[in-house]
Structure 1
């Protein structure tokens, strides 16, 4: 019987700061029929590995759940249908939605939808850390890495919300997901109530999951959502942990998450079974390849020389126009030129609401959000591509620090309508895609 082990890193995320052995996890083990066999919370890796060893379990597949705010969701409009061409065009299709150098981002491709291909984007170095952490588990083979919120069972609802203590996971029917602080949930009531483009609905269905304790503890944060006229909220009291809900949804195909284990992070078959089946065909192919190499070697060398000469000519022309540019190479000169043209036309990239909110929220948390810095309201203009946030802080310097931190992410942040009073400073922060 095969088993699947779901593992979710617990805060604080020590692995991101180099302490792999100190990272602790929430976890759940289910069998092939979907029955939970074991689970735990805030355990270190040795406890999980010991459980697998003591029960002499074989064929265990590991599913790692990354923090949803580490992974950005976006769409890619690519007309091609063949996977090879889609992957080649993917970086160019999403480059304007990512607020960092696209070469430093790992992109994972999901299914095609009416809006385009679903795409998950994560910082390359951060992805490498998470992959190394989960791949090091003994007694289980890494099968997939998913953003945790992407496993919520959206079902017939437009939005699915799951309270998980101080954090809340949110997923939408279009495939989008995000993770946020539960205390900030109330500010999303207006946004959740907005219908999709060209959609006319009387009510927007929302499913709210949470334990009795969390539903009671965060009643004030939930109330604005449940009292919003356009939202029809259905409560579902959890009799299991949030992680077990995610495991149940993924096992029963109630969600369509994007597996981040693609490209350089694609998993290899450690059993060797597939190789044994295809080994005879591989031997024949190898012999044929050896014969072809001898025939093609001379022709390949000639074409290589021609290509090198053309590349030198192209770079010579480029440096005649841009003599101070030292970062352009023959491999990336097209992308560099396209970037210069975008700047010249003053058409900076636009980010959607989830991208702007995720990045602004990350800097908000770093600066002590909820204590020295608080959101009063959030509004988003799809037409202008701007996120407008009403803020309160104990002083103007903290507001300025937030603006600078968001600007360092490649976004444009402006502060206006500043009012200083005895309790601190109030201002309006406007965030857009930058230029």
Structure 2
């Protein structure tokens, strides 16, 4: 059976090597180490990529907010959690998960915006498009009713539930143990899973202990990772360059506006599945001719049997001839290149905006996996480096990039 989930455990951006596990659904796998040169081969074997980053970078907490409106919730989280933060609440990214919708109880993962951006930049640079990013305590086994504690030389990792846990230094072990003893009672003891080499723990009614063999720490259970995915820290993350775009299809000024709409028609024609039934093709042709007449009211009578792309190119050339005296930057050269490149990519074009000599393209796609390849293709076609900003939005990816037009003549 082919592997479907690749889990990468990283200690810091730019490590010399990484730990990884390849998981089948509802099975376990051993942790292994590999140099970064092996990453491309690992990526080919996986359909889902989960990246574990150090738990010390992520704060997991709960908050009660009586609202189901996601926009209101996002606005209220920084204020509700301000007292738990060491730095400016506005500099943090908040990913939340509903624990109890009736009571308004939410689990929240908090990470510095700049730090998450650094991780994503590093992964993107290495050709890794993660499905989820989680704190590394979520690699610990999760058992209903039990907390799992992993004490090592580098620190103490504790997983309290499927989506809750924390990291602290190893020296705090006595304090942690004392806290569990204080919280537990004979009627409601604390259930704790620990490694067999953990320092001796007193046998008291306040604690119910279960010991795991050291070898178990080298195994990763698929269900342990899958149960943590609702608290993916990437949820709702916006890149630093993200901004709210204007409404789709804003009217352009002059030749740039006409050229953009023309390019959109060309892209639509090239991207359509022309192998559909002839009746659908005929209906589409009628619609395109109507659009063409709207854009070019001065054009001659249209023969439906003529090549529609040739008609568009002819009208664009007329516009170019009428504006040869204009030395200001033009969007037309860029639009021609985009009309050739974009239809070959698995994206859906949303808007093209021309403002102050800058062309802004916005699109959507099913996966972030298209981003690196699209950047490569655009950079090659335009003979300049193109960087795409993107974010996840519900079940799709929204991408945006800007191009500066060159002066005519």
User: Offset at 1:238?
Assistant: 4.4
Alignment match, 1:63: 50
C-alpha spacing 1:235/1:85, structure 2 compared with 1 (3 Å): same
User: In the alignment, which of 162, 165, 169 is matched to residue 177 of structure 1?
Assistant: 165
Taking the aligned partners of 2:10 and 2:19, their CA distance within structure 1 comes to 6
Do the aligned partners of 2:186 and 2:205 also contact (CA within 8 Å) in 1?
Answer: no
Higher-Rg structure is 2
C-alpha spacing 1:235/1:174, structure 2 compared with 1 (3 Å): same
User: In the alignment, which of 177, 190, 199 is matched to residue 178 of structure 2?
Assistant: 190
Structure 1 residue 91 and structure 2 residue 78: aligned? yes
SS in 2 for 1:100: coil
C-alpha spacing 1:248/1:168, structure 2 compared with 1 (3 Å): farther
Structure 1 residue 201 and structure 2 residue 190: aligned? no
User: Offset at 1:79?
Assistant: 0.4
User: Offset at 1:110?
Assistant: 1.7
Taking the aligned partners of 1:233 and 1:117, their CA distance within structure 2 comes to 29
Alignment match, 2:141: 153
Alignment match, 1:8: 9
SS in 1 for 2:183: coil
Alignment match, 1:112: 99
Q: Which runs of 5+ in 1 are unaligned?
A: 267-274, 278-282, 285-435
Q: Which runs of 5+ in 2 are unaligned?
A: 240-270, 274-283, 288-409
User: In the alignment, which of 29, 40, 43 is matched to residue 32 of structure 2?
Assistant: 40
Q: Which has the higher helix share?
A: 1
Alignment match, 1:121: 110
C-alpha spacing 1:81/1:7, structure 2 compared with 1 (3 Å): same
SS in 2 for 1:194: helix
Alignment match, 1:28: 21
Taking the aligned partners of 2:61 and 2:150, their CA distance within structure 1 comes to 21
Taking the aligned partners of 1:226 and 1:178, their CA distance within structure 2 comes to 23
Taking the aligned partners of 1:23 and 1:111, their CA distance within structure 2 comes to 37
User: In the alignment, which of 155, 165, 171 is matched to residue 167 of structure 1?
Assistant: 155
Taking the aligned partners of 2:207 and 2:229, their CA distance within structure 1 comes to 24
User: Offset at 1:227?
Assistant: 3.5
SS in 2 for 1:49: helix
User: In the alignment, which of 120, 143, 146 is matched to residue 131 of structure 1?
Assistant: 120
Taking the aligned partners of 1:235 and 1:130, their CA distance within structure 2 comes to 34
Do the aligned partners of 1:189 and 1:228 also contact (CA within 8 Å) in 2?
Answer: no
Structure 1 residue 249 and structure 2 residue 224: aligned? yes
SS in 1 for 2:237: helix
C-alpha spacing 1:164/1:265, structure 2 compared with 1 (3 Å): farther
User: Offset at 1:226?
Assistant: 4.3
SS in 1 for 2:23: strand
Taking the aligned partners of 1:192 and 1:115, their CA distance within structure 2 comes to 27
Taking the aligned partners of 1:71 and 1:35, their CA distance within structure 2 comes to 25
Structure 1 residue 144 and structure 2 residue 132: aligned? yes
SS in 2 for 1:99: coil
C-alpha spacing 1:130/1:77, structure 2 compared with 1 (3 Å): same
User: Offset at 1:68?
Assistant: 0.9
User: Offset at 1:71?
Assistant: 0.7
Do the aligned partners of 1:69 and 1:180 also contact (CA within 8 Å) in 2?
Answer: yes
SS in 2 for 1:120: strand
Do the aligned partners of 2:149 and 2:193 also contact (CA within 8 Å) in 1?
Answer: yes
Alignment match, 2:371: none
TM normalised by structure 2 equals 0.51
User: Offset at 1:72?
Assistant: 0.8
Do the aligned partners of 1:120 and 1:260 also contact (CA within 8 Å) in 2?
Answer: yes
